[in-house]
Amino acid sequence: MTIAKAKNTRIIRSPISFSVGNLTPHGRKRVPNEPHLGAKRSPQRKTQCLSAQAGLADRIAEYQPAAIVTLLLSIKEIVEAAAIAAGSSAARYAVPFPGMGQQTRFRDEMARIIPMLPKIG
């Protein structure tokens, strides 16, 4: 999950680690049994995502964002629940992760929501 970065904004990154194939986004070797984008949705992955919800809620409460954009549809409900738990009134949006053939859908959804995002400064 990321909040789009503009002037005077923060990016909130979920502590959930995603990787593709055998390498993580930072070029490190993937840890065996770590969930990755090519994996089927597993109970372990869902558990990891759910366990990150409380920490995400804490960061949302601390940062008080004006908008939250979830960049992975499968965690939309977790991000929504974290925002509610944080008492956030931020506008919330969700778009597909821009990989694995979803780049056009991602681009189309971002083009649709960017005009609705709050302007800062």
Q: What is the C-alpha to C-alpha distance for residues 118 and 94, in angstroms, rounded to an integer? A: 16
Alpha-carbon torsion, ordered 93, 99, 103, 108, to 10 deg = -10
84 and 33 Cβ atoms separated by less than 8 Å: no
In 86-105, which positions are buried (b, 16+ CB within 10 angstroms) versus exposed (e)? Answer: bebebebbbbbbbeeeeeee
In this predicted structure, which of 35-44, 69-78, 81-90, 105-114 has the lowest mean pLDDT? 35-44
pLDDT above 50: residue 3: no
User: Can you give the pLDDT at residue 95?
Assistant: 96
Helices (H), the chain: 43-51, 53-63, 76-85, 103-113
pTM to 2 decimal places: 0.67
Domain ranges of the chain: 1-16+52-121
Which pLDDT tens digit goes with each residue over 22-46? Answer: 444 444 454 454 445 555 567 888 8
83 and 95 Cβ atoms separated by less than 8 Å: no
In which band, very low, low, confident or very high, does the pLDDT at 5 lie, cut at 50, 70 and 90? very low
Number of neighbours of residue 71 by Cβ within 10 angstroms: 21
pLDDT above 80: residue 10: no
> Could you identify the residue written with the tokens 């770590």?
34
